C-alpha cells in the first residue's frame, strides 16, 4: 500500500462511518463493552488479590505461625458440676524452645499468649484482646509505633505492669487526650490489674487496610493490649475462663501462638517437616495446633489469581467474539449498500487490494475507536472505584494491551471477509447496482 | 493523413458462457479510433453496445481478438493491470453520475488520482481548476447530495479529466438529465473535443449522436454502419 495514501483512506473511512452515526455507534458498542469489561474485571480482581496478598505479606513471607487449636474431644469434667469443663491443650513454652533449638534456619521464635479481657479507663470500658509477648513483637509483625515505645527487656524481666495499646483502642478509650503514662484497668474473670500505658502501636494489616477485620468469634481484633509475657503469666495465669450461656468452660493454654521467623522464604519450605516433627514429638498423635505458612498461602493465592485471570480472558474473548460477529454483520451490510461506490472506485482505477484495504481500515477504525472508548471507560470506572469508593482497583497494563490487541485482532479477522467480498465484486455488476 | 489511432480493435469477440448455452455478444469487431476524434457508438439493445463499452472501459476482457489502447494490448491483462489502465488512461462518465457520496466536489474529482498514488494536497489546485472549468467554482466543498443532476454530471466530467486520459468514455451521459441540462453537458463535451480530447460516447439518443463526428452503429454484435460526417463517408461493414 502506498503509505502517503493511508492517511487519506483513514479519513475516507471516518467519513463513511459518519454517514451512519447511529449504526457505527451501535456497532462499536459491542467492542466498547467487551474492552471495558476486560479492563474493569481484571482491575477488580487485581485489586482484591492485591489486598489479600498485602494481608498475607504482613504476616511475613519468611514466617511461620503456629496456633493452638482446641482438639475435638478432650474435655475433662470438673468435679462437682456437670456444667463445668476444663480443657488443656495447645502450644507450650517447651515447644517454642525446642523449635529454636532443633529446627534449622530459625532466626527467632516469638511466643504469644492471648486472652479476652476488658479494659477500662475512667468510665469508658472496651472489650479487648490481651496479648502477652516479647519486646521484639513490632519488628516481627512489621507493626509501627505511633507514640511512646514498645515493651522492653527490663519490663519483661521484672514482670512490670506496662502496656501498649493499638491506635484504634487508644482512640476509643481516651477519646482525644494523650494516653501515654495514663493508667488503665484490665479486668479478667478472676482478677483486675492496673497497667500504665507506655506506647501506641499500629498493626500493619488491621490498622491500615482492614479496620473492620474480625476474628473467628466476630470480634474486632484491632482492640489489642500488649503486655510483657512474664507479667501476663504472673497476673492472669494461663487459665482462661469463659462463661457461656449456662455453662462454664475453662481452658488451659500455655501459648496461643508461636511465630517463627526464618532467614528466607525458601528455608521455610525446607524446615516445615522438621517443624512438625519437633511439635509432634511430645503430643502422641494429639493435634492441638495448626501451622499457617504465609508463603504457601501467597503462592496459592497467586495460583488462584492466575486461574481467575485466565477465566476472565476466556469470558473477554467470548464477548469480543460476539462484538466481532456484530461488526462483521454490519460490514457485510455496508458492502452491499455501497456496491455502487465499490464499482465506481474500481472504474476509477482501484485495485482489489485498494478496496480490501479500504474496508478493512473502516472495520479497524470501528474496533480501535470502540476499543479506545472501552479503555477510557474502564480506566475511568476503575479510578472512581479506587479513589471515590475506596475499593482497591488496579488497572494492569497487560489488560489494557490485551483488550486493545484483541479488538484489533477482531477487527482484522472479522473485517477481512466483508472486505474481500467487496474487492471481489465484479466491477460491471457493481456499477450497475442501484 | 489521419491522426494516430489510439484505439485499435481487431476481430474483437465476446462470448458469454451461460452454462446451458453460449451467447455471442460481439462477433468480431474491427475499427480504429483516432486521437482527438469524437465518436458515438449506437445500436439497439442486444446489439452488443454495453459489452463493447465494458471492454473499451477495461472493465471486461474480450474472449478473443485484440484491443490496443495507446501502445498496449489490454485484451489479456490481469485485473490489477486493468485497474491501472482504467485509472490512468480512461476517463469515465456514467449515466447516473456515480459520484461518491461521502466526498465533496474536489475530493470526488481527485479519486482517480488517489488510485494512482497521488496525494490530494499535491493536486488540489489541479482539481479545483477542473471544477472551475465545468462551472462549479462556488461548489467546491458541496457533497453530491447537495448538487443537482446537471451539477453532479459536471463533477463527473471534471473527474474524468483529472488523470489526463487517452480517452473519455461516456455511457449515456445525458440519460438522466432534462433537455436544457443535456445541452449544457453536451456543450461541455463539444468544448473538450475542441481542445483535442478523444471522446467515445455510447448512446441510443440521436440528439447526442448528432454532435459526434463519427457514429458507429452496432447490430447483432457486428458493426452495422460506420458513418464519418464531414467527410460524408459511410462504410458498410
B111-138 pLDDT, tens digit each: 999 999 888 888 999 999 999 999 999 9
Whether residues A110 and A134 fall in one domain: yes
Count how many domains chain A has.
Answer: 2
Whether residues A28 and A122 fall in one domain: no
Q: Which band of pLDDT confidence, cut at 50, 70 and 90, is reported for residue A144?
A: confident
A53 touches chain B (CB under 8 A): no
Q: Which band of pLDDT confidence, cut at 50, 70 and 90, is reported for residue A79?
A: low
Q: Which band of pLDDT confidence, cut at 50, 70 and 90, is reported for residue A245?
A: low
Q: Residue A310 has what pLDDT?
A: 85
B94 touches chain A (CB under 8 A): yes
If you measure CA to CA, which chain A residue comes closest to B160?
A: A348
Which tops the pLDDT comparison, A361 or B4? Answer: A361
Q: Residue A86 has what pLDDT?
A: 72
| Number of residues that this document lists for chain B | 237
Domain contains A341? yes
Q: Are A234 and A159 in contact (CB under 8 A)?
A: yes
CB contact under 8 A, A428 and B59: yes
Please tell me whether residue B217 adopts helix, strand or coil conformation.
strand
Q: Residue A74 has what pLDDT?
A: 54
Rounded Cα distance between A383 and A381, Å, is 5
Which tops the pLDDT comparison, A206 or A261? Answer: A261
Domain contains A35? yes
Element (H, E) at A422: helix A397-423
Q: Residue A252 has what pLDDT?
A: 82
Q: Which of B79, B98, B114 shows the shortest C-beta gap to A344?
A: B98
Domain boundaries, chain B: 38-53+77-236
Q: Which band of pLDDT confidence, cut at 50, 70 and 90, is reported for residue A4?
A: low
Mean pLDDT, range A123-149, rounded to an integer = 88
For residue A266, how many C-alpha atoms fall within 13 Å in the half-sphere facing its CB?
A: 0
Mean pLDDT, range A331-351, rounded to an integer = 92
Q: Which band of pLDDT confidence, cut at 50, 70 and 90, is reported for residue A246?
A: low
pLDDT at A1 over 80: no
pLDDT at B232 over 70: no
Local structure of residue A317 (DSSP, 8 states): H
Whether residues A273 and A370 fall in one domain: no
Q: Which of A19, A349, A431 shows the shortest C-beta gap to B115?
A: A349
Whether residues A90 and A49 fall in one domain: no
From residue A308, alpha-carbon distances to A52, A318, B187, B188, B205 in Å are 14, 15, 74, 71, 74
CB contact under 8 A, A5 and B101: no
Mean pLDDT, range B63-70, rounded to an integer = 92
Q: Beta strands A162-166 and B222-228: pairing type?
A: unpaired
Q: Are B150 and B166 in contact (CB under 8 A)?
A: no
pLDDT at B233 over 70: no
Q: Are A395 and A40 in contact (CB under 8 A)?
A: no
Q: Are B174 and B123 in contact (CB under 8 A)?
A: no
Domain contains A260? yes
Domain contains A61? no
Cell numbers for B188, please give them. Answer: 461541455
Q: Are B89 and B27 in contact (CB under 8 A)?
A: no
A10 touches chain B (CB under 8 A): no
Q: Are B52 and B29 in contact (CB under 8 A)?
A: yes
Q: In chain B, which residues have their Cβ closer than 8 Å to the Cβ of A14?
A: none
Mean pLDDT, range B13-20, rounded to an integer = 89
Element (H, E) at A64: strand A63-68
Helices (H), A81-164: 93-102, 137-141, 153-158
pLDDT tens, residue by residue, B137-168 = 999 999 999 999 999 999 999 999 999 999 99
If you measure CA to CA, which chain B residue comes closest to A423?
A: B79
Q: Residue A214 has what pLDDT?
A: 46
The percent of residues in chain B predicted with pLDDT above 90, rounded, is 76
Q: Residue A126 has what pLDDT?
A: 87
Rounded Cα distance between B80 and B87, Å, is 11
Q: Residue B151 has what pLDDT?
A: 94
The topology under which CATH files domain B38-53+77-236 is: Rossmann fold (3.40.50)
A423 touches chain B (CB under 8 A): no
Q: How many Å lie between the alpha carbon of A393 and the closest alpha carbon of chain B?
A: 44
Please tell me whether residue A306 adopts helix, strand or coil conformation.
helix
Q: Residue A218 has what pLDDT?
A: 44
A433 touches chain B (CB under 8 A): no
The answer to which of A66-80, A282-296, B212-226 has the lowest mean pLDDT is: A66-80
pLDDT at A165 over 80: yes
The answer to which of A83-97, B59-73, B212-226 has the lowest mean pLDDT is: A83-97
ipTM over 0.90: yes
pLDDT at B21 over 70: yes
CA neighbor of A171 nearest in space, from A209, A202, A138: A202
> Hunting for cell 495447645 — which residue is that?
A90
As beta bridge partners, residue A68 has: A289
If you measure CA to CA, which chain B residue comes closest to A9?
A: B114
Mean pLDDT, range A93-112, rounded to an integer = 88
pLDDT at B170 over 70: yes
CA–chain centroid gap for A181, Å, is 38
pLDDT at A115 over 70: yes
pLDDT at A265 over 90: no
CB contact under 8 A, B59 and A2: no
Q: Are B164 and B87 in contact (CB under 8 A)?
A: no
Q: Residue B1 has what pLDDT?
A: 46
Whether residues A353 and A245 fall in one domain: no
Rounded Cα distance between B179 and A150, Å, is 105
From residue A279, alpha-carbon distances to A87, A263, A292 in Å are 19, 20, 14
Q: In chain A, which residues have their Cβ closer than 8 Å to the Cβ of B99?
A: 344
Whether residues A97 and A48 fall in one domain: no
Q: In chain A, which residues have their Cβ closer than 8 Å to the Cβ of B92?
A: 347-348
Rounded Cα distance between A150 and A200, Å, is 8
Whether residues A91 and A23 fall in one domain: no
Q: Residue A78 has what pLDDT?
A: 54
Q: In chain A, which residues have their Cβ closer than 8 Å to the Cβ of B57?
A: 347
From residue A354, alpha-carbon distances to A34, A335, B102, B191 in Å are 30, 14, 17, 34
Whether residues A266 and A307 fall in one domain: no
CB-defined contacts A:B, below 8 A: 77
- B-proximal residues of A, 338-377, CB under 8 Å: 340-341, 343-354
Rounded Cα distance between B65 and B79, Å, is 18
Which tops the pLDDT comparison, B39 or A86? Answer: B39
The percent of residues in chain A predicted with pLDDT above 70, rounded, is 90
Q: Are A186 and A161 in contact (CB under 8 A)?
A: no
Please tell me whether residue A184 adopts helix, strand or coil conformation.
strand
From residue B106, alpha-carbon distances to A269, B103, B171, B184 in Å are 76, 8, 22, 21
Whether residues A94 and A10 fall in one domain: no
Residue-wise DSSP of A112-147: EEEEEEEEEETTEEEEEEEEEE-TTHHHHHT-EEEE
Domain contains A24? yes
If you measure CA to CA, which chain A residue comes closest to B55?
A: A428
Q: Are A10 and A366 in contact (CB under 8 A)?
A: no
Whether residues A41 and A169 fall in one domain: no
Please tell me whether residue A405 adopts helix, strand or coil conformation.
helix
Domain contains A251? yes
pLDDT at B48 over 80: yes
Q: Residue A207 has what pLDDT?
A: 35
Q: How many Å lie between the alpha carbon of A341 and the closest alpha carbon of chain B?
A: 6
B86 CB neighbour count, 10 Å cutoff? 27
Across chain A, what does the average pLDDT equal?
Answer: 84
Q: Which of B79, B98, B120 shows the shortest C-beta gap to A8?
A: B120
Supply the range of the domain harboring residue A354: 3-54+301-432
Whether residues A278 and A157 fall in one domain: yes
Whether residues A360 and A247 fall in one domain: no
pLDDT tens, residue by residue, A173-228 = 888 788 899 999 998 777 788 999 999 998 765 433 344 444 444 445 578 899 99
A244 touches chain B (CB under 8 A): no
Q: Which band of pLDDT confidence, cut at 50, 70 and 90, is reported for residue A358?
A: very high
Residue-wise DSSP of B81-134: HHHHHHHHHEEEE-TT----TTS-HHHHHHHHHHTTT--HHHHHHHHHHHHHHT
Rounded Cα distance between A46 and A34, Å, is 18
Amino acid at each position: 500500500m502506498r503509505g502517503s495514501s493511508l492517511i487519506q483512506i483513514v479519513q475516507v473511512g471516518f467519513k463513511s462511518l459518519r454517514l451512519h452515526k447511529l449504526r457505527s455507534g451501535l456497532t462499536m458498542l459491542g467492542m466498547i463493552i467487551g474492552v471495558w469489561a476486560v479492563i474493569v474485571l481484571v482491575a477488580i480482581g487485581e485489586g482484591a488479590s492485591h489486598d489479600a496478598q498485602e494481608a498475607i505479606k504482613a504476616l511475613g513471607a519468611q514466617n511461620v505461625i503456629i496456633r493452638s487449636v482446641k482438639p475435638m474431644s478432650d474435655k475433662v469434667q470438673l468435679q462437682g458440676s456437670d456444667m463445668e469443663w476444663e480443657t488443656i491443650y495447645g502450644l507450650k513454652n517447651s515447644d517454642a524452645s525446642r523449635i529454636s533449638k532443633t529446627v534449622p534456619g530459625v532466626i527467632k521464635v516469638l511466643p504469644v499468649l492471648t486472652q479476652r479481657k476488658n479494659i477500662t479507663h475512667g468510665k469508658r470500658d472496651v472489650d479487648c484482646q490481651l496479648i502477652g509477648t516479647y519486646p521484639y513483637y513490632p519488628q516481627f509483625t512489621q507493626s509501627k509505633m505511633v507514640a511512646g515505645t514498645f515493651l522492653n527487656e527490663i519490663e519483661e524481666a521484672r514482670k512490670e505492669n506496662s502496656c501498649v495499646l493499638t491506635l484504634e483502642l487508644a482512640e476509643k478509650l481516651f477519646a482525644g487526650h494523650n494516653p501515654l503514662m495514663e493508667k488503665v484497668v484490665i479486668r479478667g474473670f478472676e482478677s483486675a490489674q492496673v497497667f500504665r500505658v507506655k506506647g501506641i502501636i499500629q498493626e500493619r494489616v488491621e490498622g491500615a487496610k482492614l479496620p473492620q477485620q474480625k476474628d473467628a468469634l466476630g470480634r474486632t481484633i484491632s482492640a489489642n493490649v500488649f503486655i510483657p509475657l512474664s507479667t501476663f503469666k504472673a497476673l492472669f495465669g494461663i487459665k482462661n475462663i469463659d462463661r457461656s450461656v449456662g455453662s462454664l468452660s475453662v481452658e488451659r493454654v500455655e501459648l496461643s501462638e508461636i511465630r517463627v521467623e526464618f532467614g528466607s522464604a525458601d528455608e521455610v519450605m525446607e524446615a516445615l517437616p522438621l517443624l512438625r516433627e519437633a511439635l509432634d514429638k511430645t503430643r502422641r498423635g494429639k493435634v492441638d495446633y495448626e501451622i499457617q505458612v504465609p508463603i504457601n498461602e501467597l503462592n496459592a493465592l497467586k495460583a488462584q489469581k492466575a486461574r481467575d485471570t485466565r477465566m476472565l480472558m476466556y469470558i473477554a474473548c467470548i464477548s469480543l467474539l460476539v462484538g466481532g460477529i456484530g461488526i462483521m454483520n454490519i460490514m457485510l451490510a455496508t458492502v452491499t449498500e455501497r456496491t455502487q461506490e465499490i464499482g465506481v472506485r474500481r472504474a476509477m482505477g482501484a485495485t482489489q487490494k485498494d478496496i480490501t484495504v479500504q474496508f478493512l481500515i473502516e472495520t479497524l477504525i470501528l474496533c480501535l475507536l470502540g476499543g479506545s472508548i472501552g479503555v477510557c471507560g474502564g480506566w475511568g470506572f476503575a479510578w472512581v472505584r479506587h479513589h471515590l469508593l475506596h475499593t482497591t482497583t488496579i488497572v494492569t497494563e497487560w489488560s489494557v494491551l490485551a483488550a486493545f490487541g484483541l479488538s484489533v485482532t477482531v477487527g482484522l479477522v472479522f473485517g477481512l471477509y466483508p472486505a474481500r467480498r467487496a474487492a471481489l465484486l465484479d466491477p460491471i455488476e457493481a456499477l450497475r447496482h442501484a | 493523413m489521419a491522426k494516430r489511432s489510439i484505439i485499435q480493435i481487431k476481430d474483437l469477440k465476446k462470448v458469454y458462457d451461460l452454462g446451458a448455452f453460449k451467447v455471442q455478444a460481439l462477433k468480431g469487431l474491427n475499427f480504429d479510433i483516432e486521437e482527438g476524434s469524437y465518436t458515438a457508438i449506437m445500436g439497439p439493445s442486444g446489439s452488443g453496445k454495453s459489452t463493447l463499452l465494458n471492454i473499451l472501459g477495461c472493465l471486461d476482457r474480450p474472449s478473443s481478438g485484440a484491443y490496443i489502447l495507446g501502445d498496449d494490448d489490454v485484451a489479456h491483462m490481469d485485473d490489477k493491470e486493468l485497474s491501472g489502465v482504467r485509472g490512468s488512461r480512461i476517463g469515465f462518465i456514467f449515466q447516473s453520475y456515480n459520484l461518491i457520496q461521502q466526498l465533496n466536489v474536489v475530493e470526488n474529482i481527485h479519486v482517480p488520482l488517489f488510485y494512482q498514488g497521488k496525494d490530494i494536497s499535491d493536486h488540489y489546485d489541479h482539481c479545483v481548476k477542473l471544477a472551475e472549468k465545468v462551472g462549479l467554482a462556488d461548489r467546491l466543498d458541496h457533497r453530491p447530495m447537495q448538487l443537482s443532476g446537471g451539477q453532479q454530471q459536471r463533477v463527473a466530467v471534471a473527474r474524468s479529466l483529472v488523470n489526463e486520459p487517452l480517452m473519455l468514455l461516456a455511457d449515456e451521459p445525458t440519460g438522466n438529465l432534462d433537455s436544457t441540462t443535456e445541452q449544457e453537458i453536451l456543450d461541455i463535451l463539444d468544448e473538450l473535443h475542441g481542445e483535442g480530447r478523444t471522446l467515445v460516447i455510447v448512446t441510443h439518443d440521436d440528439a447526442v449522436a448528432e454532435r459526434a463526428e463519427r457514429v458507429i452503429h452496432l447490430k447483432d454484435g457486428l458493426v452495422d454502419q460506420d458513418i464519418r460526417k464531414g467527410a460524408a463517408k459511410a462504410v458498410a461493414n
